[in-house]
Structure 1
Amino acid sequence: MKIGIFDTGTGGKLVAKRLKKLLPQHLYITAIDREHAPYGNRSPEEIITLTDAAIQQLLSCDIIVLACNTATTNAISSLRQRYPDVCFMGFEPMIKSAAALTKSHHITLLATNATKHSQRLRALISEYATDVRIDTPDTHAWAQMIDQGLADDIILDEVSTSVADGSDVIVLGCTHYLALKRRLQRLFPQCRILEPTAIIAKRISDFAKLA
């Protein structure tokens, strides 16, 4: 099966690497829109337009994975309407799982500004996490720094403060932040760190069985 993976940079490559390891039997094609990266500080309208343009080369794939929380939360509904015959799967913040797992009713969401302000995130919080405190540290420069190979230079003081205040779950709401996962695990071993690559892999496997 042919699987297309879209992102704006490092996140897509990290997701593709992990999916290839989990599901090596499939063919993977990546579309990386570095020219317009990062998407995280753009308007929803810009994100829809740019994502639509970027996935054109993937339309022949059996599945298109939006390995970009910003694109998923802002554009996937429009893409599904425009291309009803295409199977889109998208990365989005694991708010439901985080709300179920937290024992302190306090989580830390690491996401771009566009994801933080999206209607989709508001809907997830309204449905699953109305009784959960959600801290959202300033991450506006992180994706660009990670693309530049500067992940180790990212300052995590706001994350540290959130955890010190009682957060016990950290949600990686941007695939670029997979580059920080091991560091976060080392610094905050008391926290669960959530990102949906394994869930996407399971959905791909289920789809392949039905194809």
Structure 2
Amino acid sequence: MHVGVFDSGIGGEAVAARLRELLPQAHVVTAHDHPNVPYGSRSEDEVYRLTKQAIQPLLSARCAVIVLACNTATAAAIDRLRVDYPNTAFVGLEPMVKPASTLSASKTIVVCATPATLLSQRYQRLKRDWTAGITVIEPDCSVWAEIIETRRADQVDLDPVIRAVQREAADVVVLACTHYHWIKLQVESAVGSHVTVLEPSDAIAAQIRRITSAIRGH
């Protein structure tokens, strides 16, 4: 079975690599939109239009499942794409606010996301549904995706995240952009072993397994 992975830039490659490990029976193909990266500062309509255009190679490859490995694209486009292409299963990414809130003993979490994701209705709904009694810190990560995309991951400023952990006793950090997966080890090293750093690759694989099992069952 063909599984497509789309991201605006290189973040999707990290997701695809993990999916190839977890789903060895699947043929994982990728698509990107390097000329227009990053998406995080664009309007929802623009992100939808760019995403629809960029996934055409995955649709042409007859991917049964397409992963929108981009929180910004998921928030802006996934509902409309499901209407546009009803015979394709779309798996989106959402910030892991629910598991972070459940895991946090200190009741303080850090969400690292693009401006577009933080402003999206999906993210606001997640916060409303799952963070009652939880302090959510949203450091300025607006330049992270561009820095990582240009292969300068070692230059990402993690000080705002470190301060949140040290001053506010945050004990869970959510990486809510697939570009940030490339710096997961840097973040873990910076915040210390007592802090849990979450990213959704394993959850995506589990969802794909459920979808493919359902397809085979028909």
Could you say which TM-score interval applies, normalised by the shorter chain? over 0.9
Matched, 1:39 2:39: yes
Counterpart of 1:84 in structure 2: which amino acid? P
Query: Counterpart in 2 of 1:185?
Result: 188
Query: Counterpart in 2 of 1:76?
Result: 78
Deviation at 1:40, TM superposition (A): 0.5
Alignment counterpart, residue 109 of structure 2, candidates 79, 103, 107: 107
1:100-153 deviations in whole A, cap 9, x for unaligned?
A: 111111100000000000000001111111321111111111111111111111
Matched, 1:19 2:10: no
1:161-207 deviations in whole A, cap 9, x for unaligned?
A: 11011110000000000111111111222111111110110111122
Structure 2 residue ranges without an equivalent (≥5): none
Q: How does 1:84-123 map to 2 (within 5 A)?
A: 84-123=86-125
Query: Counterpart in 1 of 2:199?
Result: 195
Deviation at 1:209, TM superposition (A): 2.0
Percent of aligned pairs sharing the same letter: 43
Alignment counterpart, residue 62 of structure 1, candidates 48, 61, 64: 64
3-state DSSP of counterpart to 1:92: coil
TM-score computed with the length of structure 2 as normaliser: 0.94
Structure 1 residue ranges without an equivalent (≥5): none
1:45-76 deviations in whole A, cap 9, x for unaligned?
A: 11111111111221221000000011011211
| Number of residue equivalences | 211
* Stretches of 4+ aligned residues off by more than 3 angstroms: none
